[in-house]
């Protein structure tokens, strides 16, 4: 039996040297140490040994088993390390390879220009006020000297939610909302969406944006209005830009004016874009009507103010050279990407 045991150890050790995979290693383990393995078979015959031989062979058998077990585990460590290395070699990541660039969106041209306009006015000490798109008839019309049967309502038809609630046709209701709450000095702009029953074409949309401006304080005059607008236009279009005030009528300002800016293409000489005028209309303005002040509990003998309402789309189109307003709303990425 002693020879048998030594032979098993020798053959096991030889097999271990030549095998190359974990599966082969496991096969060797089972064939030697398993239930039906060579060593197990030999040990089964121990019963046939004499009392003197048994402890000697038993000790040898244990020694052989331990030797084989430790050889197995050594080999296993080597094979595992080898397998790991092979796996790493196969899964090399090239960190210098160019990555996929994620698509990032940008700001809409209307948002961009609005931000620019806001910054100019913030720089002049204005703050920003916001109000509801769904507005009371009182704020949108009545409080602005436009009672129910006033002809000015014809040009500003809109969606009536009820007799007293409308989609606002202008940002001017913000004049009232601000003056009802704040005491002069007041210096705000109020940008937002406005709604009118207009058919869509290159220069009209039933939904568009205005920016309202309002200044109320002691001793405010038309000269302040003109100076403020001039400063704004020069900041937006450059130092060469000029403005022109034409007399006009709005029910809630007196006197009122329409304000034109010198054509950004020809600089005032007259061309196709300004239709030979040299100027392009961009806003309505005027001195806040005394009745409007009074309605908001501001004494017109003590305070005066000016207001203006600017069409944002027109400014965006001029600023970015866009010839059709519909481009601004169709959300065609090929168009929007350009800005």
Is residue 205 at the binding interface for ligand PHE, with CB under 6 A as the rule?
no
Min separation Cβ 171 and ligand PHE, Å: 7
Place of tokens 């331990």: 66
Instruction: Indicate whether 192 belongs to the interface with ligand PHE (CB under 6 A).
Output: no
Interior angle at CA 236, CA 232 and CA 328, nearest 5: 120
Size of the site for ligand PHE (CB under 6 A): 10
226 Cβ contact list (under 8 Å, min separation 6): 243, 245
Residue 109 in the binding site for ligand PHE (CB under 6 A): no
Binding mask 237-276 for ligand PHE (x = CB under 6 A): -------------x--x-----------------------
Contact, 305 vs 288, CB < 8 A?
yes
Task: Determine, following the binding rule CB under 6 A, whether residue 172 of this chain makes contact with ligand PHE.
Answer: yes
Please check whether residue 265 is in contact with residue 273, taking contact to mean a CB–CB distance below 8 angstroms.
yes
Closest separation in Å from C-beta 96 to ligand PHE? 59
Contact 2, 9 (CB under 8 A): no
Instruction: Calculate ∠ Cα 78-80-86, nearest 5°.
Output: 105
Q: Does 141 bind ligand PHE (CB under 6 A)?
A: no
Of the CA atoms within 13 Å of residue 208, those in its CB half-sphere come to: 29
By CB under 6 A, is residue 170 in contact with ligand PHE? Answer: yes
Q: What is the largest CA-CA distance in the chain?
A: 133
Question: Which position's Cβ is nearest ligand PHE?
Answer: 309
Regarding 308 and contact with ligand PHE (CB under 6 A), the answer is yes
Residue 18 CB contacts under 8 Å (≥ 6 apart), including other chains? none
Closest to ligand PHE by CB, 86 vs 130, is 130
| Segment near ligand PHE (CB under 6 A); pick from 125-133, 180-188, 236-244, 283-291 | 283-291
Determine, following the binding rule CB under 6 A, whether residue 191 of this chain makes contact with ligand PHE. Answer: no
Judge contact between 40 and 46, C-beta under 8 A: no
- Please report whether residue 286 would count as binding ligand PHE according to CB under 6 A: yes
- Scanning 57-65, 216-224, 235-243, 278-286 for contacts with ligand PHE by CB under 6 A, the matching segment is 278-286
- In terms of Cα–Cα distance, which of 130, 118, 9, 27 is closest to 70? 9
Contact positions toward ligand PHE, by CB under 6 A?
A: 170, 172, 250, 253, 284-286, 307-309
């Amino acid at each position: 039996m002693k020879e048998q045991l030594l032979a098993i150890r020798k053959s096991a050790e030889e097999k271990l040297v030549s095998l190359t995979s974990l599966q082969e290693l496991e096969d060797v383990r089972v064939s030697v140490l398993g239930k039906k393995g060579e060593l197990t078979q030999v040990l089964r015959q121990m019963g046939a040994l004499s009392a003197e031989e048994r402890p000697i062979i038993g000790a040898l058998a244990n020694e052989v088993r331990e030797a084989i077990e430790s050889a197995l585990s050594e080999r296993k460590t080597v094979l595992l390390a080898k397998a790991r290395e092979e796996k790493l070699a196969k899964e090399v990541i090239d960190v210098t390879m160019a990555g996929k660039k994620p698509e990032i969106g940008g700001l809409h041209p209307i948002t961009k220009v609005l931000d620019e306009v806001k910054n100019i006015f913030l720089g002049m000490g204005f703050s920003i006020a916001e109000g509801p798109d769904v507005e009371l008839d009182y704020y949108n019309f009545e409080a602005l000297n436009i009672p129910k049967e006033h002809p000015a309502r014809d040009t500003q038809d809109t969606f009536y939610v009820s007799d007293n609630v409308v989609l606002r046709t202008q940002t001017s209701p913000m004049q009232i909302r601000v003056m009802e709450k704040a005491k002069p000095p007041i210096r705000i702009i109020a940008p937002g969406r406005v709604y009118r029953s207009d058919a869509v074409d290159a220069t009209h949309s039933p939904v568009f944006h205005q920016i309202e401006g309002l200044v109320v304080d002691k001793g405010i005059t038309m000269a302040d209005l003109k100076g403020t607008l001039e400063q704004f236009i020069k900041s937006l279009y450059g130092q060469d830009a000029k403005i022109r005030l034409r007399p006009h009528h709005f029910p809630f300002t007196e006197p009122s004016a329409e304000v034109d800016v010198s054509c950004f293409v020809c600089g005032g000489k007259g061309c196709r874009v300004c239709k030979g005028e040299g100027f392009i209309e961009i806003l309505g303005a005027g001195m806040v009507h005394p009745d409007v002040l009074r309605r908001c509990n501001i004494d017109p003998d003590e305070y005066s103010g000016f207001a203006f309402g600017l069409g944002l789309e027109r400014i965006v189109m001029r600023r970015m050279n866009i010839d059709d307003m519909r481009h601004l709303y169709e959300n065609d990425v090929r168009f929007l990407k350009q800005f």
